[in-house]
Every structure is written in C-alpha cells, then in structure tokens.
Amino acid sequence: MTALYPVQDVFTRGEISPRLHARASLDFYRAALARCENFVTLPHGGIRKRGGTYFAGEAKISAKKTRLIPFIFSADQAYALEFGDLYIRVYAYGARVGTVEVASPYLEADLFKLAYVQSADQMWIVHKDYPPKVLTRTAHTAWTLTDFAFLDGPYEEINTTPTTLTPASTGHATPKMTSATAPSGTVTDDGTGTNTWRVFDRSIAQEIVVTTLSSGFVQYQFPAGQGRAVNAYWIAASNNVAATGDTPTQWTLTGSNDGLNYVALDGRAGQTGWSGSEVRFYDFQNSTTYEYYRFAFSGGGGVDALNSSIAEIALAENGDMMTPFNLTASSTAGINNGAGFQTSDVGRSIRLLGSENVWRWAKITGRSSSTVVQIRLYGHALPDLSPITRWRLGTFVPGKYVESGSLYEERLAFSRKFSVYASATGDFDNFALGEKDDDALEFVQAGGGQANDIAWIADSDGALLIGTSGGVRALSGSGIDEALTPSSFKNRRSRTFGCARIRPVDAGQSFLYVTRSRKSIAELTQTAQSRFTSDDVGQISEHIPKQGVVELAFQTDPDPLLWFPLDNGELGGYTHQPSQEVRGMHRHRLGGAFSGSGRAVVESAAVTPGQDGNDDLWLVVKRTIGGVTRRYIEIKTAAFEYGAIGDAFEVDCGLTYTGAAVATVGGAAHLAGQAVDVLADGKVYRGLIVSGGGTVTLPGGSVGAKWQLGLTYAAGADTLELDVGGKDGSIIGRRKKVAKAILSLLETDTTGLEVQSFMRGRWEPVRMPSIVAPDGRATLFTGNVEVPIDDSWEGQGKVRIRHVNPTPCTIRAFTPVFDAEP
C-alpha cells in the first residue's frame, strides 16, 4: 500500500459536534478537530495553548456564588467588580483596589439576573425585584451605591376610579397672604403698587397694579431664619382682557439674604401676547435658601407705559428641600390593586393633575396608612387644595422594576416586560414624557402577533435593539438616519432567534447573544437599515453551548475571542473573525478540581482593557482546596508569543516571583496542600507540593530568579478522520494505520508534547534531545517534528495530541502518515 500524507494546516473551525465527525464532504471539515481543549484556534489557522490564569484574590464569601461585572471608564481606567451576596468589591489590573467594599442589596440568588449600563463614572444596575441603583466612582478608591431616582415618570395609566387624592399643602414657598404682612413675611413693591400683596393670595381672577409705571418690582421677604429654596414659579396675567397689555414682558428674579446683595436666579424677555388669566410656567436651577425674592419687571404698562399689572405669582419650593406633607386618598380603590398604599411605595413617583389642568409630580417619602402618604412636590406649586381626581402612580414597584438598560442617542433607556422607557436627551434622570424631540419617551412593545417579554436592550448602529423571548426587534427613528423621538419612531421585526436574559456582546461588525434556551449562541448581523438577521454560530459545535451558557464576555485583543462559562463548569471559547471565515469553538478546563469533578468550575467571566494593550479576561473559579470550597478571582494571561521561555505563564491560579535566585518562595497559601508546576528560569518542575504556610521549594537545591508557579493543566487536541480520496471513492470508514505524525510547530517546548493513537494507550513523546539546554532548561522549537506512533488497523487515522508542561505550544499544521485499506 502507498502511504498517505493528508496535511491539515487550518484549525479555524475548532472542535465540532460529534454528529459531524463523518461529514468529510463539508467544506469546514478539513479545518476542524474532534476535540480542542485548552487550545485556542488562531485567526492565522493554527492552535495555541491558552495562557494560564493569575491569582488576584479570594472572593469575600467563598461559600457563595460570585459574579464579575466590568466597569470601564476608558482603555486606561478599567475595573472588574466582584458582586457577591450583599456586597461589591473592586479589582483593577490584577489586584483588589485597597479595601474598597460597597454594601449592596443584591442576594446571591439574584447576582446573575442583574443587568447594567455604564456611562463614564456611573453604572446603573437593575433587577426586577430591586429598585434601580447607581454605582458611582468619584476616585480610584471612592465608590458609592445609591438609589436611582426617576424624575417625573414613568407611570401607570391615569386613575379611572372614584378615588381622589387631597394634598395638605400646595407646595408654594410663600403662605397665602391676606395682607402685606399676614399671615407671615412681608410683601413690598417700588412704592407705587396697589395691594401688591395680593399677587400671593392664590387667586388668578383679579387685576393687581404692581407699579404705576412700565417697570418696578415686587418682593416677598420671609421671616428671619425661615427662608426657602425656590426653583420654579408661575405667573398669571390679569383677568381683565382689556388690560392684558399691561402685563410685564421681561423680568429678573433675584434672591438675597440681607436685602442688600442680590443674586440673579432667572431672567426672561420677550414675554408678549398675554391673554386674560393666562398662566405661564418657568423653571430654573436653585438649591440655595434665600429670605428675599424679588421680581424686577419692565416692559409693562401697555402702550401708555402706565400701570403694569398681573394677577398672581406662585413661587414653588424646591422639592428636595421641602418638608413633606400628607396626601390623603378617599379610598384604596385604584391604588396597588385595591390594597392601598404600601410601605414599598416609599420612593415611588406620583403625578397629580391640578385644578387648572396642569400636571405636577411628587415623590412619596413616607406612609402612615393605606390611604395616607407623605410627599414632596416637584416642579410647580398647586393652585389650591382641591381633591385631585386624575392621578398616576409610578409604574415601578417590587417585582416590576426595570430589568435591562442601554444608552442610545444620548438617552438612558430601560426596559421592563413589554415596555421601553427612554430619558430626555442628555438628561438621564428625566423621564417626563412630552412631545418635543428631546423629551423622554415610552414605547410599548407590541407586534408580530406575539406578546414576548423583553430580555435585553442594546445600542446598535442606527437602532435600539430589543431582544425578546421571541426574537430581536429594532426601534429607531421613522426615517433613514432620523433620531428616535416621541413623534418619530418605527419598530421592525427581524427573522431572528428568541433571546435569553443574558447580556449580549458587541463583536465589532455584529452582536453575539444567547438564544432563549441558553443552549446556543447566535450572531446578529445588520442587513439593511434597522433590519437584522441571526445565525447560530455554534451549530457545528452545538455540543459545547448545549451545556448551558451562563454569560458572555468578548475579548478584542490580542485576538477576537468570545468567552462563555457553562453550567458544567467548563469555560467555552469561540474565535470570531467572520471576515476571514474564522469561527472556531474550543473548551477550557482549568487546573485544580472541585468536589471530585477532576476540574475547576468557572462561574463568571468579564473582560476589561489590560495595561499591556491586551484585554484581561477575569474569571471566578471554584475549587476544593484542603476540603473547603474556595472561589478565586483570576485573570487569564495573554498566550505566550515572541518572548523568552522564562516569561511564559502556563499555569492556573498562579503567581510570579521575580528577584534574587532562591530555592523557596512563599505567598501561595491559597494553594496550600496542592500539587503545582513551576517554571523557574525556564526549567520545568512538576508536581511540587505547596506547604500549609504557602511555600514551595525546588528539589535538589535548585534555585531560580524568576518563577511561574501554579496548578497544572494540559492542552489536548483530537484529530478527525481525514479523507484524502481513494481510487474508488472516499476512504472514510475504511481501516487505517498511522505510522507517524508530522507536526509543524511554532515556539513550542517539545519536551511537554506527546502524541497518542486512538486505539493504543501509550503516549509517544517528541524526542528531540538536541533542543534541551545542558542545564536542563527547556528551549523553544520552531519547525517540523516527526513522532512515530504505535497504532493498529482500527485507529481510523486519528490521533490525540497533548502538551503537559507549563510551557508554550503552538501547532501550525498536522500531517498523519498512514496506510489505508484499498
């Protein structure tokens, strides 16, 4: 028989499903492997042993699950946040940040249901059972977690029950005046007004001459020490239609605490065209308390410039500094499904329609009973204390809080159930609905004949992607390149897979997301304006994500890689460079073991920019150490390339020592009692035991100035049965016997490389003694090696390859040399 030499020089499709192991006719078959474990498929075609993991610290509560979430301010300032049961810790660039620890409300069972969105130094964290929170970084070691306050919305439907809400106060900063000095404070003018105090008597059905000229002022002075902070006001024109031309057209509002020195708070001009009893509303920013407020008017008096007049001025107190007052419901109907006010309503927004048909909003600050709560009123003062029949309660209550978030077109957007809520443009706190283009908006997801819950929302080019359990939709402005506004929007359905509640990742030219079953990963690609399609990227490797995807983390540098922890404890990997047809999955088993499983368990993954230009992959890894469950925070190091072998870091949960040449190093207490591998000055030492105090000693009096110490792991690859074509057809399934394997290697320590026949259990080492230095240090080899193999005729021409040393290994190509049945 003639020996066959089928070369496999591409492994870009990674490990494929056992269902495809006989599909040699498929185009990708010659670029695939039956197993790819702890090897990474490279965009260039080969496979490379993954880098090890560096020990960064132990989770605060090792007995409970922990999740990692990235916090990325910039490429130069990035953090990994350790979310545990009721706490958050902060890590950066390989170590915990000081003693930073933030108390949080999140329980262990809810950690992987948290969603988040970040902008600069703020991160919004949401969960359906928790009020939204904001995590803020004010300095490297200063972090706070506070409630996120939705200003003026969103709300439930307007009340349609007979229940009324009666306020105990109107929110006016001034009292209802009955004279210039009663009931308190003092009203003055420029000396020419007539009963000017009546502009504060709560009536707009009147005409009050505030000055006999076209300009003047009106001032209210609080009693000493009783000043208020005002941040809004409204003005009512005279009810005398013939005299509305006497209404001032410009003014300045100032504040003072001594009656001599005034600070400008607000100014208006061009306020013309007043009609009888017309009310106009004005807002400004102010949180400072003043005892004097003065309106300096001009442009009044009409054509004769005499007798400037108005009906009312209503100064509104800043709600944040207001003493809360009671709001009393006439019944519990319409409030929390008839249950009335609950303690959980504290912090909830409520909208109130005043008797003049203008909406205000308030925040519930306390509860006295099912019908009485205390509120702070925001915006503008109510005209009177009339019972309010039209009101709206904030939509967010326990179990119904927002569930995901994103930034889109300078809006902060959240989703819940079927709805998307987006803030005003550039004003992330403001969710007050309106009709202007930059007002906040609410969109109710409906269409496609299905009422599917929203799983996540994400910003994409030209659209806000809405991932639902039934598929992905795109919300955007109604025209091409048109902004999304309250009056301009379109919602398009795409033929896509349903989505799991797992945050998707932006992979450059596409999005990658987990399908509803959590057993496959789909790629979402834009095909036209606001139109998308998705494909199952893992279909040819379906057995890997079928273990159940926990979360996604995407690494850009040095290679585009998707990482995804699986329910079985493995770490899934996917090399993703579709422009070069590189789509290969691989599996990773970390060194150590948990509860006799034979491997460590990876529970969480997050990617942040690293200091060396490569992205850092942060992992939470669970192991049994000394009979106790330990959860460690680890960073996967960049794979070795183009360096000195002594710099290679190919161990897990490891540490590095650099300094004087020593025989013993300490600091490895986290691995006490474990067998570890050491690469010391390029020399391999295997199976050394870490003492109870965390020290490791090299055997035979050896010393090293640079140590890489950690748990061992092996990289393994199983080849497929290659079909080189027989004279009478395919040779798939025919008996074959492999005589040897030819490996094309790059920067590989061949002393750790072994090859095995599928049918014979003996591992054949690569024997190249000439590349081992006289002092026993390993060296790196680039080129071709031949390995004789003890095989039988039942082997089908397949072999196993593994690399067991804590040193680099890159395989560029593989050629099995075999004989086959005719």
CA distances from 77 to 70, 193, 557 (A): 11, 62, 16
Burial of 708 (0-12, 13-18, 19+ CB in 10 A): buried
Q: Give the integer Cα–Cα distance in Å for 140 and 142.
A: 6
Topology annotation, domain 14-49+716-820:
Jelly Rolls (2.60.120)
Q: Before 183, cis peptide (omega within 30)?
A: yes
Q: Do domains 14-49+716-820 and 186-318 have the same CATH topology?
A: yes
Tell me the residue type at 483.
A
559-564 own/partner pairs: CB under 8 Å, 24+ apart: 559/40, 559/42, 559/43, 560/43, 560/507, 560/508, 561/40, 562/505, 562/507, 562/512, 562/521, 563/605, 563/607, 563/617, 564/514, 564/521, 564/605
Structure tokens at 582: 């590189």
pLDDT at 79: 97
Give tens-digit pLDDT for 784-798.
Answer: 999 888 766 566 668
**Position 2 confidence tier, pLDDT thresholds 50, 70, 90:** low
Structure tokens at 95: 């170590």
Structure tokens at 289: 């308390």
pLDDT at 446: 60
**Position 772 confidence tier, pLDDT thresholds 50, 70, 90:** low
- What b-and-e string marks burial along 787-806, b requiring 16 or more CB atoms within 10 Å of the CB? bebebeeebbbbbbbbbbbb
Statement: the pTM of the whole predicted model exceeds 0.75: yes
* Residue 467 clears pLDDT 60, i.e. is over it: yes
* Residue 7 clears pLDDT 90, i.e. is over it: no
Across 689-701, average pLDDT:
96
Q: Compute the chain's Rg from CA coordinates.
A: 36
Give tens-digit pLDDT for 617-656.
Answer: 999 999 999 999 999 999 999 888 888 899 999 999 999 9
Q: Name the residue among 477, 457, 281, 514 with its Cα closest to residue 380.
A: 281
Structure tokens at 257: 């605490």
Three-class HEC string of 241-268: HHHHHHCCCEEEEEEECCCCCEEEEEEE
Domain ranges of the chain: 14-49+716-820, 165-170+322-393, 186-318, 652-712
Tell me the residue type at 632.
Y
Cβ atoms within 10 Å, residue 354: 18
Tell me the residue type at 551.
E
Min mean pLDDT across 56-65, 74-83, 162-171, 774-783 is at 774-783
Give tens-digit pLDDT for 350-368.
Answer: 999 999 899 999 999 999 9
Element (H, E) at 541: none
Across 85-92, average pLDDT:
98
What is the dotted CATH code of the domain comprising 186-318?
Answer: 2.60.120.260
| 751 SS3 class | helix
Three-class HEC string of 277-333: CCEEEEECCCCCCECEEEEEEECCCHHHCCCEEECEEEEEECHHHCCCEEEEECCCC
Q: Give the integer Cα–Cα distance in Å for 551 and 617.
A: 13
- % of the chain exceeding 70 in pLDDT: 94
Mean pLDDT of the chain: 91
pLDDT at 652: 98
pLDDT at 762: 80
Give tens-digit pLDDT for 385-412.
Answer: 999 999 999 988 888 899 999 999 999 9
Q: Name the residue among 519, 615, 620 with its Cα closest to residue 569.
A: 620
pLDDT at 9: 87
**Segment of 17-31, 516-530, 548-562 carrying the highest mean pLDDT:** 548-562
